[in-house]
Structure 1
Amino acid sequence: MRPATADPVVASLSEGVGGPPGRRAGRHPWWTPVRVLLALTALTFALGMVQKAGCVADQWSDGEGRYTQMCYSDLPYLYTGRGFAEREWPFTGDAQVRSRYTVMEYPVGIAYWAYGAAWATHVLVGLPELGDRYAGAVDALWGRPDVQREIGLYFAVNAVGFAVLALLTTWLLAGVDRRRPWDAAAFALSPALLLTGLVNWDLLAVAMVAAALFAWSRGRAGWTGVLIGLGAATKLYPLFLLGGLLVICWRARRWREFVVAAAAAAVAWLLANAPAYLSGRDQWRVFWSFNAERGPDLGSLWLVLQQAGDRAISPGTVNTGSWIAFGAWCVAVLVLGLAARRTPTLAELGFLVVVGFLLVNKVYSPQYVLWLLPLAVLARPRWRDQLVWQASEIVYFAAVWWYLGGFLEPAAGDDAWFYWLAILVRVAGQLFLVALVVRSLFTPDGSRARSGAHAALAVPAAR
């Protein structure tokens, strides 16, 4: 289905180039929908690299510029701060390494990628000798000319890899429903992708989620589980897709598919974690302990409550409260999914569950919008709704950097209430999209015309 005939926003924009296609409009012999989408993704990601140009130009050394220009990225700082400049394995228990470097606080999938990118960087610069680096202080690494060159190259290596992941994600999303490849355009042209794609390594998990959606649409329950497991080894949230599968299989009384997917996810997660666990059990545990001991942090409603109430909230209180709230949210999604007029799709249920997790989580980093993006564009493929939601995310994206830069502090020294407002705007945008997705589950037409082919995507034929 052509977007200009199905979406009012696209139809109105098409007036500038002749209006929606007519009944006798033909197809271009080379520019297929998927190729157009890939080109748009490449353009968006290239603009995202340009958006980081200010920080690249000053070699990530301007502490204020990274916030004023909103070009911050974790990658350069973790290159020297987690031992990658010395090619240290993230999970090593070597006493000398651990005395010099903080353990990588991310799941194993990200740690593996970051370590591999460091090796690629060193290969490109000719495998530099590291003896003099070991002899010096870690703090001195940042100012070394050779390390500064590697930092820029490390960022570029990761950026190229992320661009490939973005293209792969677009291709996968376009293939979930073969009759509606254009639904992936909201990912390909996403302002959120442009602004946050290079902040951290989250695109790894995004690609895994897109691949899981694709595998499920093809009736591959085992591969769906494998991809969910690998995604959960990269970021925890892909694990929540199993909740969506539970609802779908429950409605269809097809428990075998759920068991296969869940078992495959568990095996994939265990195998992915095995190298890290076996090489450094204590270092492997850091991700879990770091998150358990973390208090209210950036972007969370918990932070608003703490700052507005002028009272500290302990990590234990946040842990208990967030898990209780998230559990209640999951029960609500389960009830909605079972009571819905039609069987929801995996993208719809996954979106609802992940939103619930993010709403009550103790932190909301700017790039977390990417977690929702592939799910949202398939769960609610309407440009107006996507633009409203992503506008709220952009408000938060700008506010968090201004907040970190100290630009939102009132002259009188009061609390940065404008940052609280930005958090609430972001939450409102997410709840807006949640309401539309829920409504579509109980209306005859939903968010789009529901063809028999699309309905089959909820419970694809087993293979």
Structure 2
Amino acid sequence: MSGETRNVPSRLGGSRLRLPDEPAREDWFAGGLSEAIGGPLGDHAVRPPHRRYVTPVRIVLALACLLFALHWVQKSPCRDGAWGDLKQYKDHCYTDVLALYYAEGLGDGKVPYADHAVEYPVLTGLFMGALGLPVHALAQHVDINQGKWFYDANAIMLSLLGIGTVAMVLALRRRRPFDALLLAIAPAMLVTATVNWDLLAIAPTVGALLAWSRRRPWLAGLLFGLGVAAKFYPLLILGPLLVLALRSGKLRQAGTTVLTAAATWVVINAPIAMLYPDSWLQFFRLNSTRGVDWGTLWYVGAHFPTGGENAGLPGFGYLSTHITTLNLLYGVLFALCCLAIGALAMFAPRRPRLAQLAFLVVACFLITGKVWSQQYVLWLIPLAVLARPRWGAFLAWQLAEVGYFLAFYAELMAASGTTVVPEWVFVFFSLCRLATLVVLVGYVVRDILVPARDAVRADGSDDPDGGEFDHAPDVSWLPGAARPTTPAPAPS
């Protein structure tokens, strides 16, 4: 798997040499960082042989392994479950994985859904049971710390899924392997990877994008179905898939993916829904009745330091106690965002890439939503890397996420009776997270409207993740957009 190549004049005459992609040469921010070690490599520098042991792919995968090892170290103070004196917040090591081992009854040997109404979609509940019940059974014969064993088992499995996700992004970016470096060293991944089971949905979702890029719509649908059965957010990506299929006339292929995804989800959910309907509905009940969560747009509005007796902007306090109105309002806002993204997809001067639209939809879902848990950033990181592999705005957003991560634990301590920082500090970091993500959304929209600014298309590519969409002409009936894409490059 080689890096992206750049054409440069050959010393031998008219032929051209193929050199690997180098972020320090094509990205101004990465180039600035490289000055600390001498700056970008020059055109006439002696490069190592093409076949060498230290390749971009191996570097990225090694750093991904290091990131998940460091994440385990960061969470290790909480592994014993002895969370007295708010240790889980002071050490910033809280994880739902350990807390829910006991809260969901796994520590007592309860079978998910059959004995206890799990608050997560079916595949996540089954995953919890598949790891938790053997730990409980072992504890009946061996003196072990059940919580620690359960967390470690989950950390191993989720880390493997995370490393697999990095490998799949590398496969999607065979010509630009250093793009995956952004995922492999993402600061927010370092601190939130095993806060919950989100990587269980992220890995099949990225796998679905990889399968689609390889023109295997049924496999993409199978993996999308698995992702939705673990967390519902992959469902959002099917919308951009259908809109791009409409513009390119590839509805049959996209329909195969959507129908296969639906069938997969039904096969996984139907047995639980029929045998334990009340337990199966718990996830839907919880999300429909859930109020304003920490760090959301609605929370910021309700707690914005206005200087008056009652903090918050007018009207936001009302939404905190009227869930039906809140559900309607954020649903309408998200629907309007989707309509705008759909119009952008249909009428942009050049058909957007699938990853660009997927990122926009998921980002808007979080920006407008009433729940934005700290680990939801994991949904966006692979999509952001695929949508806009530029270092500056990406790292600014990631640093804002880390700032929010730290402020959030201070807020949790305050909610537990120990005030560490004033409320406005948490609101400030919530706004930083929101603002940097909005800026990143703006950059992706700009790249769509001005394709020459798109780093992925800089070498003449159309949509390397697009599968059936890649180099496909627009449908003839679409006014103003019925134009062929850049022809596919000749094999080198």
TM-score clears 0.5: yes
Look up the match of 1:322.
330
**Contact persistence 1:248–1:458 (CA under 8 A):** no
In the TM superposition, what is the alpha-carbon distance from 1:243 to its structure 2 partner?
Answer: 1.1
Aligned mates of 2:359, 2:38 — CA distance in 1: 35
1:342 counterpart SS class: coil
Pick from 234, 250, 256 the counterpart of residue 252 of structure 2: 256
Is residue 133 of structure 2 the alignment partner of residue 119 of structure 1?
Answer: yes
Equivalent positions of 1:42-441 (< 5 A) are 42-56=65-79, 59-92=81-114, 97-98=115-116, 103-122=117-136, 126=138, 128=140, 146=143, 149-307=145-303, 308=312, 309=314, 310-311=317-318, 312-406=320-414, 416-441=423-448
Aligned mates of 1:360, 1:392 — CA distance in 2: 18
Q: Name the aligned partner's letter for residue 109 of structure 1.
A: L
Aligned mates of 1:216, 1:49 — CA distance in 2: 32
Aligned mates of 2:368, 2:135 — CA distance in 1: 38
TM-score (norm 2): 0.83
**Contact persistence 2:121–2:283 (CA under 8 A):** yes
Task: Quickly say closer, same or farther: Cα 1:456–1:187, change in 2 above 3 A.
Answer: closer
Equivalent pairs, count: 434
In the TM superposition, what is the alpha-carbon distance from 1:184 to its structure 2 partner?
Answer: 0.8
In the TM superposition, what is the alpha-carbon distance from 1:22 to its structure 2 partner?
Answer: 4.2
Task: Quickly say closer, same or farther: Cα 1:360–1:342, change in 2 above 3 A.
Answer: same
**Contact persistence 2:221–2:257 (CA under 8 A):** yes
**Contact persistence 2:106–2:129 (CA under 8 A):** yes
Aligned mates of 2:369, 2:146 — CA distance in 1: 35
Bigger helix share: 1
Aligned mates of 2:270, 2:366 — CA distance in 1: 28
In the TM superposition, what is the alpha-carbon distance from 1:229 to its structure 2 partner?
Answer: 1.5
Task: Quickly say closer, same or farther: Cα 1:329–1:117, change in 2 above 3 A.
Answer: same
Look up the match of 1:13.
33
Identity percentage of aligned residues: 37
**Contact persistence 2:23–2:178 (CA under 8 A):** yes
Q: More deviation in 258-267 or 272-281?
A: 272-281
Q: Name the aligned partner's letter for residue 105 of structure 2.
A: G
Tell me the alpha carbon deviations over residues 433-453 of structure 1, each in whole angstroms, 9 at most, x when there is no partner.
Answer: 000000001114223151344
Aligned mates of 1:444, 1:74 — CA distance in 2: 41
**Contact persistence 1:296–1:306 (CA under 8 A):** no
Task: Quickly say closer, same or farther: Cα 1:77–1:351, change in 2 above 3 A.
Answer: same
Task: Quickly say closer, same or farther: Cα 1:184–1:120, change in 2 above 3 A.
Answer: farther
**Contact persistence 2:244–2:469 (CA under 8 A):** no
Aligned mates of 1:90, 1:385 — CA distance in 2: 41
Look up the match of 2:4.
none
**Contact persistence 2:355–2:465 (CA under 8 A):** no
Aligned mates of 2:91, 2:391 — CA distance in 1: 28
In the TM superposition, what is the alpha-carbon distance from 1:212 to its structure 2 partner?
Answer: 1.5
Q: Name the aligned partner's letter for residue 116 of structure 1.
A: A
TM-score (norm 1): 0.88
**Contact persistence 1:205–1:238 (CA under 8 A):** yes
Aligned mates of 1:444, 1:408 — CA distance in 2: 49
Q: More deviation in 150-159 or 219-228?
A: 219-228
Stretches of structure 2 lacking an aligned partner (at least 5 in a row): 1-20, 304-311, 471-492
CA RMSD of aligned residues (A): 2.4
**Contact persistence 1:209–1:374 (CA under 8 A):** no
